[in-house]
A and B are shown apart, each in its own frame.
Chain A
Amino acid sequence: MRKGLFLTMAAVLFGSAGLAWSTDGLRVFTAEGARRMEIAREQPQVPGMVLQTMSGDLEKLGNQPDKVTLIEFIYTTCPTICQSSGGEFAHLRDLLVEKDLPVRMMSVSFDPVADTLEALADYGALHEADGQYWTVARPQLPDLTEMLDFFRVTVIPDNWGGYQHNIAVLLINPEGRFSGVFNTDAYKEITEAVERASR
């Protein structure tokens, strides 16, 4: 009886420790939550990938020593949710400009084949991205997989010729570290994070 109780207690401890470990102390239950927590903790250095912006210029990613870079992955042929998240990104731009925060905002396409420069420019025009504060860009095809892996963006084709992906606003701080992942409509949280990182 004693022995059984002792062994059961040991199993409970083992099990609780395992569950606590697999949920980061009962805080994270989804892979997306784990991604956000790990990135905030580890703040990995962004590899020097080169993007092509909608104006055709080449720009090194996260190479803005004096400002924060905010990225949102998109694809311009998306009919519904990306348009609304594009709208949210535009609203975020308004808020940041109002606060006079130095930020580089980029909508980055993960479908660089379908998204031609023209398509990127159309998307930019639709959301009034000026190309300076906010630009629309695409990676070079060979970099795409590495880029999605690095930012832990999971893209899966839906059944309608489009994609679903874990859309979020990604923050690269002035030191070039990927240090934050936010919901696209978490304006207050993002603004505060930008303020903190800009200091």
Chain B
Amino acid sequence: MTIVLAAGLFALAAITQIWVAADPVIHVLVQFPLLGLSGYLLGRDRFIPGHWVGPALTLAIFFFLFWMLPRSVDEALANWQMHVVKFITLPLGTGLPLALSWKYLPPVLKGFLKAQCITMFGVLGFLYTHAPVRICNSYLVDDQIRLGYGFFYVACGLSIFWTIPVFTGRQTQVRRALQGTHLS
């Protein structure tokens, strides 16, 4: 079932290929996440030996950073080899190893990575809205700014999405745990 869903997301990402040349928002904020998510689903219910957790996470972070470089985004449009690289490394180099390692990570490291992620999108948002030059040769300046706002929205969305459990779910768990200690 998960595999079907992953394949579905991958297919959806392949369909968005029609619009990626014209719109950086579709490219970076729709297609990239779809590809990453399809890989993530593949790894969600799989388990790896402990000594592979570190390397898997490292790999995921580096591929993530690579695809955040404006140069990579441009080159994925300019030559077909990078197209292929994109469709392989975003699911299998980023999503999959992230899913494989995530469930083993200590909560502090998870929190740290989430905070880093939000900050990075904030910085990217600032960069793309304020850059005095065109960052990607393949996209118009207006679209570059639109992508910048997109990054801002993602940063806001993620911070809300990741903070809500602090006020609801998690706290309930903690309360339950505390009540448990009182009762016993």
Contacts and interface: CB of A to CB of B under 8 A. Distances in A.
Interface of A: 1, 3-5, 7-8, 10-12, 14-16, 18-19, 22-23, 28-35, 154, 156, 158-159, 164, 166
A152 B51 CA distance: 46
Contact of B66 (A8, A11, A22, A34): A22
Contacts of A7: 51-52, 54-55
Chain B contact patch, size range? 20 to 34
A29 B69 contact: yes
Contacts of B135: 30
Contact of A28 (B52, B55, B63, B71): B71
A154 B137 contact: yes
- Listed from nearest, the 5 A-B pairs whose CB atoms lie closest are A15-B62, A8-B54, A31-B74, A4-B51, A11-B58
B55 A10 contact: yes
B69 A22 contact: yes
Contacts of A11: 54-56, 58-59, 62
Given A31-B74, A31-B78, A34-B71, A156 B54 contact: no
Interface SS majority for chain A: helix
Interface stretch (B10-18, B109-117, B138-146, B165-173): B138-146
A29 B71 contact: yes
B72 interface: yes
B59 A156 contact: no
Contact of B50 (A4, A10, A19, A164): A4
Contact of A19 (B53, B55, B65, B134): B65
Contacts of A16: 62
Contacts of B70: 29-31
Nearest to A8: B54
Contacts of B71: 22-23, 28-31, 33-34
